[in-house]
Amino acid sequence: MPTRLPHAIVVGTLALLPLAAPLRAQGAVQPPAATPAAFRIEEATIADVHAALRSGALSCRQLVQGYLRRIEAYDKNGPAINAIVVINPAALATADSLDRRYARDGFVGPLHCVPTIVKDNFETIDLPTSAGTLALKGWQPTRDAFQVQRVRAAGAIVLAKSNMAELAFSPNETVSSILAGYTRNPYALDRVTAGSSGGTAAAVASSFGTVGLGSDTGNSIRGPSSHQALVGIRSTMGLTSRNGVVPLFDSQDIAGPMTRTVADAAAVFQVIAGEDPGDPVTAAARGRPIPRYADSLRADGLRGARIGVLHAAYDTPTLDAEVNSVFQQAIDDLRRLGATVIDPVAIPTLDSLRRLQSGACSPFRHDFETHMARVADSRPPVSTVDEILKSGRFHPSIEARLAAAVRVTESPAESPGCQARERYRAGLRLALRQLMDSLRLDAVAYPTWSNPPRLIGDLNTPGGDNSQVFSPATGFPAITVPMGYTRTVLPAGLQLLARPFAEGTLFKLAHSYEQGTRHRRPPPTVPPLR
């Protein structure tokens, strides 16, 4: 198929062109220039951007130029964060269009001129999509993913596509074949970002864009957010669409925002939430009014809340002492800010429920190939797992997993292991609901990770991922928010899980905690540019 790669600025293994050269070659933009001194781009929120635009202190072009300068200085140069796969060459032209529309009509929507970093498993009509694998290099989808459509319609600019753990396989690290080397944690360059949305997390944490979009099968929004002092939310299953996101496990996949503040997460979530006819699971949202999530953002939102500490999510022999200390301080802060904390709370039937699971459940092959069949009109280079394996165009770390997937011939509906898993999930949903109802809990709390970010290349020390069990298995929503640091600089996250469709409650609680503690600080390796 004829490739459209010349129409994008591709970095890493796709091309070796410097940032400014292809921009000038397109004849569409000028080299990146400095943002006005009066506006600090680092850590800028949506509200900051909009206030500066309204006052005339900033143009959309200047904002985009500022982010491009930071990407140029820090992504492949300087600390070499290695988060960006492809930069949108139309970003400045889009910014110019938004500036003209603003001068004529005002903001086009609630995300007007919000430069957005998009994980590379979201399909984009104007940029290649690889899902982190060289096997899909050059694939140009013919439509945007639903969430990409929504944020663009709200005025956002897709600034760049970000690196990910290849095919979203790893929750622990972000390494792929589409970029050489690991994506690095900007808080400590020798540490992992977690996965699989580690590129989005590193880019947003480094202020390469205002907000980001990631996906979460078991951990992949909340884990990288925790590792990089971000806010990340996994929605109720059925409230947000996965249409146009290359799947890992369709029964667990969720897509959503990764941001530096709770308010920004709520703003993006407002735009993407709701039914999508292209994703049948969102029928659960049909007829359900979408709340105005900004109304939940009150500094006193923890006052009168009831929060249970779910020890089963995190309390193991490998729990890191510093993470536990930071979490205990978070519990104290929740109480100080007005919450009633019940510590501990437990699911009495958890062990017996876990015994319901038997046999393997491996839906990746079925879900990936079903999805690729749906996008056959865009002529992807590979459409099956077997084709990926035979191509040899993937990172060596996923070869065994690809080989195992090829051997799976039954669909999830035909798999005894998947059927057993669904029985476990149904039981866990009921048990968790009963726990929360019996104690009148608004949420349960636990550390997002029980251990600090590992050293890059270390897969032997305890990982500590606590996101995999309760939210993905039940479909209940969960949010992570910064709760402090271990080893002086390594971020840790507080996770809150609520009942289905209680995202407003999560935003309320997380915002109140965020405002009452102010743990977020910018990473030291990517300082302001002069």
Contact present, 510 and 502 (Cβ < 8 Å) = no
When pLDDT is averaged across residues 481-499 and rounded to a whole number, the result is 98
d(CA 59, CA 184): 31
Q: 219-232, pLDDT tens digit by residue?
A: 999 999 999 999 99
Instruction: Write b or e for each residue in 449-478: b if 16 or more Cβ atoms lie within 10 A of its Cβ, otherwise e.
Output: bbbbbbebeeeeeebbbbbbbbbbbbbbbb
Q: For tokens 């864009």, what's the residue?
A: 209
pLDDT tens readout for residues 65-85: 999 999 999 999 999 999 999
Region 444-458: what's the mean pLDDT? 98
* Separation of CA 433 from chain center: 26
**Rounded Cα distance, 487 and 503, in Å:** 32
259: helix, strand or coil? strand
Instruction: Give the per-residue pLDDT at 6.
Output: 35
Question: What pLDDT sits at residue 19?
Answer: 32
Please give the Cα distance from 471 to 466 (Å, whole number): 10
Joined together, the tokens standing for residue 32 give 């990146």
Local confidence band at 508 (pLDDT 50, 70, 90 cut-offs): very high
DSSP state of 68: H
| pLDDT at residue 333, rounded to an integer | 99
Q: Indicate if the pLDDT at residue 516 is higher than 90.
A: yes
Average pLDDT (164-192) is 98
Average pLDDT value over all residues in the chain: 94
Q: What is the pLDDT of residue 24?
A: 29
Return the structure tokens found at 62: 């200047």
Interatomic CA distance for residues 114 and 107, integer angstroms: 11
pLDDT of the residue at 35: 83
- What is the structure's pLDDT at 193? 98
Question: Which pLDDT tens digit goes with each residue over 387-409?
Answer: 999 999 999 999 999 999 999 99
Catalytic residues: 119, 196, 220
Looking at residue 166, what DSSP letter applies? G
In tens, the pLDDT along 315-354 reads 999 999 999 999 999 999 999 999 999 999 999 999 999 9
**Which residue is it, tokens 């729990």?**
319
Query: What is the structure's pLDDT at 26?
Result: 30
Average pLDDT score over residue span 129-143: 98
Report the pLDDT value the prediction gives residue 8, as an integer from 0 to 100. 52
Whether 262 shows a pLDDT value over 70: the answer reads yes
Q: What is the model's pLDDT at position 32?
A: 55
pLDDT of residue 16 exceeding 90, the answer is no
Lowest-confidence pick of 29-43, 192-206, 516-530 = 29-43
The DSSP line for 305-336 is -EEEEEGGGT-STT--HHHHHHHHHHHHHHHH
What are the tens digits of pLDDT across the range 18-46? 333 332 223 333 445 678 878 999 999 99
Position 352, amino acid: S
Burial of 287 (0-12, 13-18, 19+ CB in 10 A): exposed
Position 104 pLDDT exceeds 90: yes
Which residue ranges form the domains of the chain, and what is each CATH number?
5-346+362-414+442-517 (3.90.1300.10)
How would residue 519 be classed by pLDDT, with cut points 50, 70 and 90?
A: very high
